[in-house]
Structure 1
Amino acid sequence: MDQARTLPPRSLLFVPASRPRMIAKAATLAADWIILDLEDAVREDHKDVARAGLAEALATLGDRPVGVRINPLDGVHAVADLAVVATIDPALVVVPKVEDAAGLAPLGVRALLPMIETPKGVLSAASIAAAPGVVGLMVGTNDLAATLRLPPHAPRSSLAHALQAVVLAARAGGGWAIDGVFNALADAHGLAAECAEGRLLGFDGKSLIHPDQVAPANAAFAPSDAELAEAHALIAAARGGAERFRDRMVEDLHVETARALIARSRR
């Protein structure tokens, strides 16, 4: 992927690859990545239609950062999905339900974003993140909650250990950490709160399922004006080594963090 596509994304919007009108709408949105979905968003009897429409969808989206989510590699759609991926060669392939690094082998060395959606996946997250071609990890919170046998409407805190484990693994592998989807489409306050919590946990951005979620995610995972002002002031004041800045001790590490924050704001 080129440099613009390797910046950690704030927002990755899933769009059914079988729905041209939704794809055209996505082309007008400010999502950092559009993920054309062959998996959960596509009915079983529309899988062939979705695959057949991928090339046209890519043309519709132009030079936007676009990826494709395939179906599980151990399922009935694997052969057809791998064939279309080889033909269109998307900039990113999102791989669902990855449980070990070996499971990625059929895709070869290309830009991959594995989804961690099971207990086995969480326990193998570090090795998955270190596999060739992997650019980061995405949490599949719905499937993860189901495979953990959490009760309906369990609080997000029930996933705390798993979420933090995925962030740790992604960072150890040097890649992105992408939070799971927020299901309550009409709950704007809930979405904002979950995005804010995700950033505090260390996630770079969030996977999304509705156009209205793009702007809140972009805002939540971007540096605030106050953070940017603080970063600029810190860089201007820094002289090297440990020193006092606004009643706290800072060092070169904090200067590098400030520079990274500013670079992220210039997307």
Structure 2
Amino acid sequence: MASDLRLRRSVLYMPGSNQRALDKAKTLHADALILDLEDAVAPDAKDIAREQVCAAVKAGGYGDRELIIRVNAPQTPWGEADLHAAIEAKPDAILMPKVSSPAVLESIANRLEALDAPESVKIWAMIETPASILNIREIAASRRLLPGARLTCLVLGTNDLAKDTWAQIVPGRVPMLPWIMLALAAARAEGLTILDGVFNDIADVDGCRTECRQSRDLGFDGKTIIHPDQIEPANTSFAPTDEEVARARKVIDVFDEPENAKRGAIKIDGRMYERQHIGMARRAVAWREAIDAKGY
């Protein structure tokens, strides 16, 4: 039986001011789309972007791709209009930029409740400032406190983090690894999805693949991307290999044998596996089943 796991291997930013891009997104094999009203849209195009994005969400045609609208921050000239329009459009989630404290999320969650936003409209939070990192435990923990349990996903904004900290974006991202892993630990502690930041060089597909694999090894659910050519590296990097799935199924089968019901650890093909590995194995199998059900 296929898993109902929600895949977010590839989450593609699409500029809301580009109608052609919004239409093309319906044919792309990205798991989710962030229809952007913020960074990817010039100030003089904000109004048309809002109109086009919300019309696109209402019209549908995106299949099972998750649709997220990234709005402008509430304190900007466009923030309030963005929020009202996004709620009316009813996307899967609204992505809030520059969430630096739990108070930001509380304010937005209260606004969604006041505007009678459906419970299906969730909140995603951009983690992209030094204050975001310093407050990451409290931001993630707000999942349990916000009305409607709306917070479901954290999204790293590594470009903004680099800008504000002066950290260099280099292969391997060593300067950022402490912040990245702190955010990931906070997300996992609260049962949140967490997505890695973007890879900027759209011409370097191999470099993108390398960073996607690093993201997967670090423990991320997926990668935010900025170009269709980055979809395949993200999708394949976050998919368990045939060898991993075969090993996972074997671990599950061996532990399920009646004679192993009370054993805490078992040697399989020369390696020791403890009962905690069953959960990891089931996750790998569920991931593969979800990918097979999706078809890409």
Q: TM-score range by the shorter chain?
A: over 0.9
* Residue equivalent to 1:44: 43
TM-superposed CA distance for 1:153, in Å, is 5.4
TM-superposed CA distance for 1:8, in Å, is 4.6
SS class of match (1:57):
helix
* Residue equivalent to 1:266: 289
Number of aligned pairs?
264
1:100 maps to 2:123: no
With structure 1 as the length reference, what TM-score do the two structures score?
Answer: 0.93
Rounded to whole Å, the distance in 1 between the matches of 2:27 and 2:218 is 30
TM-superposed CA distance for 1:51, in Å, is 0.8
Aligned counterpart in structure 1 of residue 154 of structure 2, from 117, 132, 137:
137
TM-superposed CA distance for 1:72, in Å, is 1.9
CA contact (8 A) 1:178 1:205 kept: yes
Rounded to whole Å, the distance in 2 between the matches of 1:171 and 1:192 is 24
Within 5 A, what are the aligned runs for 1:28-107? 28-58=27-57, 59-63=59-63, 64-107=65-108
Rounded to whole Å, the distance in 2 between the matches of 1:215 and 1:151 is 26
TM-superposed CA distance for 1:87, in Å, is 1.3
Aligned counterpart in structure 1 of residue 280 of structure 2, from 235, 247, 257:
257
Superposed CA RMSD: 1.8
With structure 2 as the length reference, what TM-score do the two structures score?
Answer: 0.84
> Structure 1: any 5+ residue segments left out of the alignment?
none
1:10 maps to 2:4: no
AA aligned opposite 2:42:
R
TM-superposed CA distance for 1:55, in Å, is 3.0
1:150 maps to 2:167: yes
Rounded to whole Å, the distance in 2 between the matches of 1:250 and 1:152 is 38
TM-superposed CA distance for 1:128, in Å, is 1.3
Runs of 4+ in structure 1 displaced over 6 angstroms?
Answer: none
CA contact (8 A) 2:14 2:35 kept: yes
Rounded to whole Å, the distance in 2 between the matches of 1:74 and 1:223 is 42
Within 5 A, what are the aligned runs for 1:203-222? 203-222=220-239
Rounded to whole Å, the distance in 2 between the matches of 1:154 and 1:195 is 12
> Structure 2: any 5+ residue segments left out of the alignment?
113-120, 291-296
| CA shift in 2, pair 1:247/1:186, >3 Å | same
